[in-house]
């Protein structure tokens, strides 16, 4: 059986230029997501530790936004094609190829982690370990912003995302996983669906005590 990570990597490698062209200016029409990222950046700056990882950074557009918001941002992605594109598009910034479950970052060194719809491809049974890894790299007081597709169903729902299979989550269930990983939830936002599937867009901001 082919590992889901390999399937996801191959899928994103195959759509690099199309994906980059579609999402480069996407936040201009998504005020809720844009403002949650702005709030995240402001709170991270307030910790005095501006180092932030954009995990699942894709073509690097949000890494660049975090940099423009005054953070020492770098991007991490599983897809070699996405990392190559990000390096070309934003040569002044750092981009590394790595799994979100194995971040090339020392323990407790980051002021923030941004996971903007990048955990959606992780099967539910594997998500707790992935969250543990994000918490590992956060300093005390550091923040994690997770954006995802939310569902009113009681359990996560697998669906055919346009790039690779993905999961929508009940917001309360994902918030419970964040708490279980050792975080304290600070804020959450659910808003009307952007996708034709009818899932809500959701953002949860959490802090490491």
pLDDT 10s digits, 49-104: 999 999 999 999 999 999 999 999 999 999 999 999 999 999 999 999 999 999 99
Please, are residues 121 and 165 in contact by the beta-carbon 8 Å criterion?
yes
> Which residues, 6 or more positions from 131, have their beta carbon under 8 angstroms from its beta carbon?
177, 178, 180, 181
Least confident of 24-33, 62-71, 137-146, 176-185: 24-33
The CA-based dihedral angle spanning residues 103, 106, 112, 117, taken in that order and rounded to the nearest 10 degrees: 0
Least confident of 6-20, 39-53, 93-107: 6-20
Question: Which CATH fold would you assign to the domain 4-23+31-207?
Answer: Rossmann fold (3.40.50)
Q: State the average pLDDT over residues 150-156.
A: 93
pTM of the predicted model as reported, rounded to 2 decimal places: 0.93
The chain-wide mean pLDDT, for the chain, equals 91
Domain boundaries, the chain: 4-23+31-207
| Per-residue pLDDT at 30 | 85
| Per-residue pLDDT at 81 | 93
Per-residue pLDDT at 2 exceeds 60 = no
């Amino acid at each position: 059986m082919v590992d889901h990570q390999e399937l996801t990597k191959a899928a994103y490698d195959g759509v690099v230029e199309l994906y980059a062209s579609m999402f480069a200016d996407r936040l201009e029409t998504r005020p809720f997501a844009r403002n949650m990222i702005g709030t995240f950046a402001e709170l991270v700056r307030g910790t005095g530790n501006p180092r932030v990882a954009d995990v699942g950074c894709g073509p690097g557009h949000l890494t660049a936004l975090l940099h423009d918001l005054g953070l020492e941002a770098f991007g991490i992605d599983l897809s070699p094609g996405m990392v190559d594109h990000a390096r070309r598009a934003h040569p002044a910034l750092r981009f590394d190829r790595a799994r979100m479950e194995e971040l090339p970052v020392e323990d407790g060194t980051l002021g923030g982690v941004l996971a903007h719809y990048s955990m959606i491809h992780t099967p539910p049974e594997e998500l707790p370990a992935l969250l543990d890894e994000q918490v590992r790299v956060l300093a005390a007081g550091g923040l994690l912003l997770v954006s995802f597709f939310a569902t009113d169903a009681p359990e996560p729902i697998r669906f055919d995302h346009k790039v690779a299979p993905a999961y929508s989550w009940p917001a309360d269930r994902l918030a419970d996983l964040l708490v279980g990983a050792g975080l304290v939830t600070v804020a959450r936002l659910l808003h009307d669906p952007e996708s034709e599937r009818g899932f809500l867009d959701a953002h949860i901001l959490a802090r490491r005590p």
